[in-house]
Amino acid sequence: MRPRLVPRQAPSRWMALLAPLVAALATLLSGAILFAALGRDPLEALWVFFVSPISNWYGVGELGIKATPLILCATGLAVGFRGGVWNIGAEGQLILGAITGGGLALLFPDGAGLWLLPAMLVAGVLGGMLWAAIPALLRTRFHTNEILTSLMLSYVAAQLLGYLVHGPWRSPEGFNFPESILFSADATLPIILPGTRLHPGILAALGSALLVWLLMARLFPGYQIKVVGMARPAAAYAGFSHSRIVWLGMLAGGGLAGLAGVMEVAGPIGQLMPRISPGYGFAAIIVAFLGRLHPVGVVLAGLLMALLYLGGEQAQIGLGLPPAVTGLFQGMLLFFLLASDVFINFRVVWGPLAPRLKG
């Protein structure tokens, strides 16, 4: 009697929903063991990591701030991923949104009226789209692998931002720090929860999740994306243009990542600096898959990932653990998710007489 994996007749819907929960629980458990091995009280450490960051309204506000770029990027990425468009460069598209939107703010250092903020948001979206358009063009014209191009363009974007804030956009009053001037009030997002730093970005994130849900569940282009992602020959037979889906997937991801970028610099950061994101664009890939590429799942996964960021900070302060602990938890979460995903298509059978092939 030993366990073996047997293919299921159809993928289990229950397991598809349960897998993220199993992964989260396994991450918690492994985290507890890890903390114990490091000589910390596991329960206390978990409390510091997962509960204390949101034990007051300020903390909840911080959770929203961190979740905003994660949810925005991940919902956009999920659109492409559903269609087999592997945009890995949301980080770069986020940075470019910050550059274009933030650049507009720098053009009007003394403010310019109520139109400036909406214009910045549009500029941010366009900036992200522009950066995503490069891999899209390369893919549709030259069959270049978008995984590589979008990833490499992320580093180009980071260098570009570094050049700008070290050079032309450096603040004259910044004591030679590589930073731009602070944005004017017209170019800064308002606070929506008094006593916190929470800005309307979280509403944009929820709104984008709603729109993506509408696209994927009710609209024809969303259906085309799914068909292309599941069966390319069927899409060709139906007459769905693959290039259009590549463009749609890349632009959706790039646009929302760009929006996330401009909201970061117009919100909690308030200026341009060399590092405006602790890897939100990359973490969003985990968020998208943890959320099963479904908008509701992505929102929940985005909140969880945001909590990991906050918990990591708390663990550094409260427990004296190294900053790597955040990455460690992200990695464990993805690892356990991929492992539990096996059970969507397979089930465990105990016994000697397991069928080996379907008839």
Partner 1 sequence: MSQSPRLRLQGITRAYPGVLANDGIDLAIRPGEIHALLGENGAGKSTLVKIIYGVVRPDSGRMFWEGRPFSVSSPREARRLGIGMVFQHFSLFETLTVADNIALGVEGNRRQLSRRIREVAARYGLDLDPDREVHTLGMGERQRVEIVRCLLQQPKLLIMDEPTSVLTPQATVKLFETLRRLAAEGTSILYISHKLQEIQDLCEIATVLRQGRVSATCDPRQETPRSLARMMIGDDLPELARPSLTVTGEERLRVNHLSMPAHGPFGTALEDIHFSIQGGEILGLAGVAGNGQRELLAALSGERLTHPDTLWIGGEPAGDLDPAARRRQGLAVVPEERLGRGAVPEMNLVENTLLTSHYLVSGGFIRFRALRRLAERIRVEFRVAAGSTRTVARSLSGGNLQKFILGREILHQPQLLVAAHPTWGVDVGAAGAIHRALLELRDRGAALLVISEDLDELLTLADRIGVLYQGRLSPLRQTAGTTVEEIGLWMGGRFEAETLTPTLNADGMVDYAP
Q: Residue 189's closest CA among 104, 270, 103, 71?
A: 270
Q: How far apart are CA 26 and CA 53, in angstroms?
A: 21
Nearer to partner 1, 31 or 295 (CB): 295
Q: Shortest gap between Cβ of 231 and partner 1 (angstroms)?
A: 5
Per-residue contact track with partner 1, 221 to 240, x per CB under 8 A?
Answer: x-x--xx--xx-xx-xxxxx
Nearer to partner 1, 30 or 345 (CB): 345
Nearer to partner 1, 108 or 213 (CB): 213
| 241 CA to centre of own chain | 27
Nearer to partner 1, 113 or 233 (CB): 233
Nearer to partner 1, 104 or 251 (CB): 251
Burial of 172 (0-12, 13-18, 19+ CB in 10 A): exposed
Q: How far apart are CA 71 and CA 66, in angstroms?
A: 9
- Pick left, alpha or beta for residue 176 (phi over 0 → left; psi -120 to 50 → alpha; otherwise beta): left
Residue 22 CA: distances (Å) to CA of 3, 47, 335:
19, 19, 11
Q: Shortest gap between Cβ of 9 and partner 1 (angstroms)?
A: 6
Q: Residue 254's closest CA among 140, 66, 87?
A: 87
- Pick left, alpha or beta for residue 357 (phi over 0 → left; psi -120 to 50 → alpha; otherwise beta): beta
- What's the Rg (C-alpha) of the chain? 22
- Is residue 241 near partner 1 by the rule CB under 8 A? yes
Q: Shortest gap between Cβ of 38 and partner 1 (angstroms)?
A: 44
- Is residue 10 near partner 1 by the rule CB under 8 A? yes
Q: How far apart are CA 315 and CA 51, in angstroms?
A: 11
Residue 346 CA: distances (Å) to CA of 4, 118, 214:
9, 49, 31
* Touching partner 1, residues 150-179 (CB under 8 A): none
- Is residue 346 near partner 1 by the rule CB under 8 A? no
Nearer to partner 1, 228 or 334 (CB): 228
Per-residue contact track with partner 1, 63 to 102, x per CB under 8 A?
Answer: ----------------------------------------
Which range in 13-21, 22-30, 78-86, 350-358 contacts partner 1 by CB under 8 A? 350-358
Q: Shortest gap between Cβ of 142 and partner 1 (angstroms)?
A: 19
Nearer to partner 1, 5 or 25 (CB): 5
Give the residue, chosen from 2, 141, 143, 356, that forms a contact with partner 1 under the rule CB under 8 A: 356
Nearer to partner 1, 35 or 289 (CB): 289
Q: Shortest gap between Cβ of 207 and partner 1 (angstroms)?
A: 18
Residue 54 CA: distances (Å) to CA of 164, 290, 300, 329:
36, 21, 15, 18
- Is residue 218 near partner 1 by the rule CB under 8 A? yes
Residue ranges that bind partner 1, judged by CB under 8 A: 9-11, 218-221, 223, 226-227, 230-231, 233-234, 236-241, 353, 355-359
